[in-house]
C-alpha cells in the first residue's frame, strides 16, 4: 500500500465511522428522514427487517464495520463498495434539498448532498483501486488469452504430427 493510500483511506473512512457510531447510539433522530427511503430499499432483501429504526441501526453497523475495514486496509475495495451502497440511500433520505422551501435550509441541504456525492466519488476511486496489481478482469482476460494460445499451439502440433513424413 502506498503512503497516499495509508493516509487517504482512514481520512475517507473517518466520516463513516463517526457517523455510524452516532447513528447507532442515537438512531431516533434519523428515523423520520429514513422513513421514505429505507423501507423501499430494504423490501426486496428478504432478511432485512421492516422497522425503519432497525434499518438505521443496520446501516450504522455497515458504516462502522466497512469504514474500519477501509481505514485499516482490510478488503478495502469491498469495504468501499459497501460504503457506496450505504451512502446512496442515506444521501437520498437525509439531504433532499429539492424539497426544502426555505432558501437557507435548501442551500445547507444542497451542500451536504454535494459533499456526499464527493464522498461517493472518493469511494468509487477506492473501490476501483487495485493497489498497482492487475484487476481481476485483466487477469481473467490474460488467462483466457494464454489458454487460447496454448490450444492453438496444440492444434498446430497435432496437425504437424498428422502429416506424413517424407
Q: Residues 150, 121: contact at Cβ < 8 Å?
A: no
pLDDT confidence of 37, banded at 50, 70, 90?
Answer: confident
Residue 1 confidence (pLDDT): 66
Q: How many CB atoms lie within 10 A of CB 70?
A: 28
pLDDT confidence of 111, banded at 50, 70, 90?
Answer: very high
Query: Mean of the per-residue pLDDT values for the chain?
Result: 88
DSSP 8-state class, residue 164: P
CA 28 to chain centre: 26
DSSP 8-state class, residue 30: G
Whether 96 has a pLDDT exceeding 80, the answer reads yes
Evaluated on CA atoms 12, 94, 121, 84, the torsion sign reads: positive
pTM over 0.95: no
Across the range 99-106, mean pLDDT stands at 88
Residue 78 confidence (pLDDT): 92
Give the angle subtended at the CA of 123 by the CAs of 73 and 21, to the nearest 5°: 70
The grid coordinates of residue 53 equal 429504526
Whether 51 has a pLDDT exceeding 90, the answer reads no
- Which H or E element spans position 93? helix 76-94
- Which H or E element spans position 40? helix 38-42
pLDDT confidence of 81, banded at 50, 70, 90?
Answer: very high
Q: Residues 70, 126: contact at Cβ < 8 Å?
A: yes
Share of the chain above pLDDT 70, in %: 98
140-165 pLDDT, tens digit each: 888 889 999 998 998 888 888 888 87
Residue 135 confidence (pLDDT): 72
Residue 166 confidence (pLDDT): 62
Amino acid at each position: 500500500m502506498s503512503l497516499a493510500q495509508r493516509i487517504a483511506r482512514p481520512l475517507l473512512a473517518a466520516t463513516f465511522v463517526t457517523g455510524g457510531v452516532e447513528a447507532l447510539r442515537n438512531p431516533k433522530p434519523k428515523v423520520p428522514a429514513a422513513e421514505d427511503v429505507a423501507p423501499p430499499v430494504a423490501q426486496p432483501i428478504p432478511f432485512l427487517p421492516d422497522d425503519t429504526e432497525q434499518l438505521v441501526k443496520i446501516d450504522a453497523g455497515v458504516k462502522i464495520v466497512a469504514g474500519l475495514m477501509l481505514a485499516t486496509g482490510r478488503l478495502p475495495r469491498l469495504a468501499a463498495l459497501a460504503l457506496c451502497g450505504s451512502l446512496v440511500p442515506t444521501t437520498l433520505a437525509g439531504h433532499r434539498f429539492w424539497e426544502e422551501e426555505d432558501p437557507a435550509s435548501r442551500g445547507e441541504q444542497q451542500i451536504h448532498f454535494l459533499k456526499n456525492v464527493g464522498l461517493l466519488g472518493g469511494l468509487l476511486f477506492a473501490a476501483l483501486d487495485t493497489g498497482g496489481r492487475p484487476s481481476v478482469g485483466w487477469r481473467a482476460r490474460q488467462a483466457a488469452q494464454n489458454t487460447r494460445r496454448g490450444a492453438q499451439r496444440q492444434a498446430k502440433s497435432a496437425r504437424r504430427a498428422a502429416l506424413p513424413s517424407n
